[in-house]
């Protein structure tokens, strides 16, 4: 089986922890499902049935994810206050037919943001102008912003032009699983 892509904030749950966490939610949802079905059987209306169908689909999805974990096709992890199933495809963005449409909306918004941040009116965005706009407070934020700025600045002249911004948006993809694994992802086995 392929390696499962984990986020640094992920806390891998054991099967017992997963059963405890998911079991509570599945039990509560099952009780509501039974109550909706009982109300449907005792009444003349379809309303409880229509309420129970989405609940049943949620239950099915939760049970499916639990089975994926138990059978070894994924790992249940706690990430903040949510429980997520991570699989070998986690974090890999699949191309969509609507991707170009997203860029159509993104480019004008990015241009408008760039115009508002451009203090000297030269049509280019310098790192100092970006710092003024974002009010960076810590050294780590500064370093992260510097790294992102250098990604946008394709020609290395210290300025981001509108064409560089459009090029970055149109060629970027959100595939976090294929980034540098040395500092972002772990196998989850310590």
The residue ranking higher by pLDDT, 50 or 190, is 50
Exposure string over 45-71, b if 16+ CB within 10 A, otherwise e: eeebeebbeebbeebeebeebbebbee
Among left, alpha and beta (phi > 0; psi -120 to 50; other), residue 93 is beta
Domains, the chain, in order of start with CATH, read 11-86 (no CATH), 99-169 (1.10.238.10)
Give the model's pLDDT for residue 156: 86
Identify the band that residue 27 occupies on the pLDDT scale cut at 50, 70 and 90: very high
In tens, the pLDDT along 118-147 reads 888 888 888 888 788 777 778 888 888 888
* Tokens of residue 56, six digits: 């049943």
Q: Which of 27-41, 94-108, 131-145 has the lowest mean pLDDT?
A: 94-108
Please count the CA atoms within 13 angstroms of the CA of 4 that sit on its side-chain side. 19
Give the model's pLDDT for residue 96: 63
Rounded Cα distance, 188 and 88, in Å = 12
Rounded Cα distance, 3 and 88, in Å = 6
* Tokens of residue 47, six digits: 């309303």
Give the model's pLDDT for residue 186: 41
Give the model's pLDDT for residue 28: 92
The residue ranking higher by pLDDT, 180 or 117, is 117
Q: Which of 26-40, 88-102, 154-168 has the lowest mean pLDDT?
A: 88-102
């Amino acid at each position: 089986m392929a390696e499962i892509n984990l986020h640094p904030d992920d806390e891998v749950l054991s099967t017992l922890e997963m059963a405890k966490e998911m079991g509570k939610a599945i039990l509560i949802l099952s009780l509501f499902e039974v109550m909706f079905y009982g109300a449907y059987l005792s009444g003349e209306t379809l309303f409880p049935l229509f309420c129970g169908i989405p609940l049943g689909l949620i239950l099915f999805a939760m049970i499916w994810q639990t089975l994926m974990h138990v059978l070894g096709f994924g790992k249940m992890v706690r990430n903040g206050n949510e429980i997520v199933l991570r699989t070998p495809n986690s974090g890999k963005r699949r191309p969509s037919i609507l991707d170009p449409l997203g860029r159509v909306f993104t480019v004008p918004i990015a241009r408008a943001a760039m115009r508002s941040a451009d203090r000297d009116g030269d049509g280019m965005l310098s790192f100092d102008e970006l710092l003024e706009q974002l009010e960076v407070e810590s050294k780590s934020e500064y370093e992260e912003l510097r790294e992102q700025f250098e990604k946008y600045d394709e020609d290395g002249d210290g300025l981001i032009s509108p064409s560089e911004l459009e090029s970055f948006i149109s060629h970027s993809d959100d595939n976090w699983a294929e980034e540098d694994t040395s500092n972002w992802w772990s196998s989850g086995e310590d």
